A and B are shown apart, each in its own frame.
Chain A
Amino acid sequence: MVTDRTWKVGGEQGEGIDSTGEILAKVLNRKGYYIFAYRHFMSLIKGGHTNYKIRVKDRPVHYHGDSLDILLAFDQLSIEANWHELHNESIVIYDSSKKEMHPLEGKSPIMAPIPLTSFAKELGNEIIKNMVACGASAAALGLRPEDFDSVIEDLFAKKGDSVIELNRQALRKGFDYYQKEFAHSYPLPEAKGKNLYLVSGNEMSGLGSLLGGCRYLAAYPITPATEIMYWMLHHLPKFGGRVVQMEDEIAACIMAIGANYAGVRAATSTSGPGLSLMMEALGLAGISETPLVIFDVQRGGPGTGLPTKTEQSDLNEMLYGSHGEIPRIVLIPSTIEECLDFAFHAFDLAEKYQCPVIVGSDLFLGMSKKSSDSLNLTPYRVEKRHIISQDDLDRLEKGVFKRYNLDAPDGISPRSIPGQRNGRYVALSNEHDEVGVEIEDSSLRKAMFDKRMRKLHGFDFGERSVEYIGEEDVDLLLIGFGSVRNQMEEAVEVINRSGEKAAVLIVKVLKPFPTDRVKRYLTHARRILVVENNGTGQFADLLNQQIGLHGKLELLLKYDGNPYTMKEILDAVRDREGVLNR
């Protein structure tokens, strides 16, 4: 019984690799196959190597897999760059119009040469080689050409019937040729999904924001976060919102603060370099007690770092960045669905606690797509705004509204917005008194500081704080945050099948740290392996700081720009390969 199948298309950036992958992904998703799609790309417009990998499973899948069954190579570099994933039964469909293409040494996958470019030229358009290649892939995967009909129709509807027909012909050409010339094909796992939606983390961050009441985004384009901006541009205006492309991330973050101050739920989206530019603004939101939501889609750092590669190295900046001390909430989704859920809740939390909320995903989670069968949007509705009512303001004596009222027991003093009568105040980035006049008085400073920090005392995001996957009593606990969850979860399934007992613990609220919720799992585990996608073990340090496990943690790090493979985690578990002690 086939349960797992992988396919990848590779070629030069700019020759339609992404769209080739997208077409097949969409076809599979519509037919009810659970898929996960991962994009590998470079920071250039033409040339280099890019690829798009799809993994198909008979159940929901969250990671693109270590190995590769079918490689569709448009150039020799694609064979070379992906050779390590191939096995002896893999099929390599390649463009034999190019003379230089050949297999490498060491293993012998089935080579399937097809003159993709020549066929496309015969059909009158070289671009259409991607559709010829889709046809060949369909044959190799046991799909029928008709399976592509609705996707082709949707894709080229605007271009007219002749273009649709041309694409069908191209598809059929590749399909027929493959069927005639090559015996090998790989059946797909059973399509068990219903109502599948093929979505990325970035898209779900956008959707969650809209549902959470976000009606304003100020941002500066940056890989890999720009897709959030695109999503917002496409949708917010239709729901009364606005999106502004600012001159830099300093302006973007501060504009989002200004918009929040005015009463709209506003956010900014960025990646590491932009987050660094937002550090002063983060403190401004903290001290002025203005709601703010920041999406940080992490990439390889520091400096410009690896703009198109994944990493989890902004954790410390999210937790501690900005001078001075402020209350803040740091949420780290670990799945594409959680990107939606956490984005939704971020806006309510920011407004309720009047502080910045950072939602930190990463390139792997943000730009990968999966078939989701659990997107039920019904529960996502804005129940309540946390803004003082005009009636409450009218009841106050004129001119005595204390925006920063020190008597608020939980530190959360009601917030007015411009336009409301008798709610006048000055939001201040200077230390201030209760109405918003700057002060330097020691006791008032201390009281105001304590008021702000008090807001998050006892903060608990409930069951969303951590997730434990596995039996209670285990030999091995894998612990991490964010997207590494997906490979850890699969690694643990393999370990458990071999008779050992392992579990996964994912921490999703990184600040305020859910110490008690994490501690109970850590004290039980006999062996603890921390897995994180960075080079210094920022999360392990946090665990030591919060739980005090010094010397007991084993640590696996990866900072080469790529997501973990399952094998890397299994090797660390079984042979302690690459494992550090912390």
Chain B
Amino acid sequence: MSQTEVTMKDFRVEERPTWCPGCGDYTVLAALQKAVANLQLKPEEVVLSTGIGCSGKLSQHFGSYGFHGLHGRSLPIAQGVKIANHKLTVIAAGGDGDGYGIGMGHFIHAMRRNVDITYIVMDNNIYGLTTGQTSPTSAKGFKSKTTPAGAAEDPIRPLHLALAQGASFVAQAFSGDVKEMTEIFEAAIKHKGFALVNAFSPCVTFNKINTYDWFKEKLVKLKDKEDYKPKSHIEALRYIDQYASLVTGIIYRQEGRKAYHEEIMGASEIPPVDADLMISEEEKIKLLSPYQ
């Protein structure tokens, strides 16, 4: 194939998104298209696996191979794809309910394996598509149809969890800053190992608390903190505690760690998808010999 330059256009599809005007998910889509184009990835060599919710629709509007699967299950699909064919660039995406509610178990275990995928959580602190219910990242006291008296639970702290579970890349982005989000996505995709990007992506229709303005007022850019180096767990935890997790940028990055497809028994340059399915008669005899 020719060495023509990949552009954002290569990752666009005809179908128009059905998100509300002003939805943060438009920015996530644009930033992701820009990031993969900047990295010169071929659309056929990228797979985007998404969950269910407004965020889950991302794969339909992104011009790579996609899997728009079940609620909370974007990660098992993404890991299956990556291990089956580690030559592909694999991205998983979903919402806060999808990833930190119904899919929480998979989130923790994917980090434990350090599968080489990027996981973008489009965090709007609410269930949007189902018209506004409290989500795992809604603040304590958050009022919605499912918590009319205010949420009694503390929210999930995804950055803390990721750091505690040893994710090798932890970042946070905001749809109000497409440039920074693009940079973070690029870094996350380039990172070898599991990369979490918690992306604040406001729901303009149902969440009247965590709005663009609210985030703009509160978010602190790590880039502006010259002394911050994303290399220490302790430092990362101290920072996100200090700013109540309201920071953007790369929070932690562990270089040089092997990814799961390099660690798993049978690890090889050749992915399972390219394995030879022919088994010789000699090998068949060997397969039976232990049973004699």
Contacts and interface: CB of A to CB of B under 8 A. Distances in A.
Given A198-B291, A427-B68, A427-B69, A240 B275 contact: yes
A426 B67 contact: yes
B287 A235 contact: yes
Given A199-B291, A242-B266, A210 B279 contact: yes
A1 B105 CA distance: 62
Contact of B15 (A197, A259, A437): A437
A427 B44 contact: no
Interface stretch (B55-63, B93-101, B171-179, B222-230): B55-63
B120 interface: no
Interface string B130-170: 00000000000000000000000000000000000000000
B63 A259 contact: no
Given A256-B80, A438-B60, A239 B268 contact: no
Interface string B266-290: 1010111111111101001001100
**Most chain A CB inside 10 Å of its own CB: which residue of B106, B273, B279, B288:** B273
A278 B223 CA distance: 44
Contacts of A259: 80-81, 83-84, 272
A153 B1 CA distance: 59
Contacts of A252: 76
Nearest to B63: A424
B109 interface: yes
A244 B278 CA distance: 23
B233 to A, nearest CB: 23
A466 to B, nearest CB: 28
Interface string B114-135: 0000000000000000000000
Contacts of A195: 292
A319 B287 CA distance: 33
Nearest to B102: A250
B88 A419 contact: yes
B241 interface: no
Contacts, number: 200
B73 to A, nearest CB: 5
Given A215-B275, A259-B84, A419 B44 contact: yes
Contacts of B73: 250-251, 254, 281, 284
Nearest to B42: A421
Interface stretch (A69-77, A260-268, A563-571): A260-268
A247 B68 contact: no
Contacts of B276: 239-240
Contacts of B64: 424
Interface string A228-245: 000001011111111110
A444 interface: no
Nearest to A378: B281
Nearest to B59: A426
A205 to B, nearest CB: 14
A390 to B, nearest CB: 10
Contacts of A41: none
Nearest to B112: A247
Nearest to B89: A418
A420 B291 CA distance: 41
B275 A262 contact: no
Given A242-B265, A418-B44, A437-B60, A258 B77 contact: yes
Contact of A216 (B57, B66, B75, B84): B84
A295 interface: no
Given A424-B64, A436-B60, A240 B81 contact: no
Given A256-B80, A429-B68, A437-B15, A423 B273 contact: no
Interface in B25-65: 43-47, 49, 52, 57, 59-60, 63-65
**Most chain A CB inside 10 Å of its own CB: which residue of B45, B77, B83, B292:** B77
B87 interface: yes
18 contacts: A196-B292, A207-B287, A238-B266, A239-B275, A242-B84, A243-B265, A251-B106, A258-B76, A262-B80, A264-B272, A378-B281, A418-B45, A424-B43, A426-B67, A427-B66, A427-B67, A428-B68, A438-B60
Given A385-B277, A426-B60, 6 more contacts: A216-B272, A254-B73, A261-B81, A418-B45, A427-B68, A428-B68
Interface of A: 29-30, 195-199, 203, 207, 210-211, 213, 215-216, 218, 233, 235-244, 246-248, 250-252, 254-266, 280-281, 284, 288, 375, 377-378, 380-382, 385, 417-430, 436-438
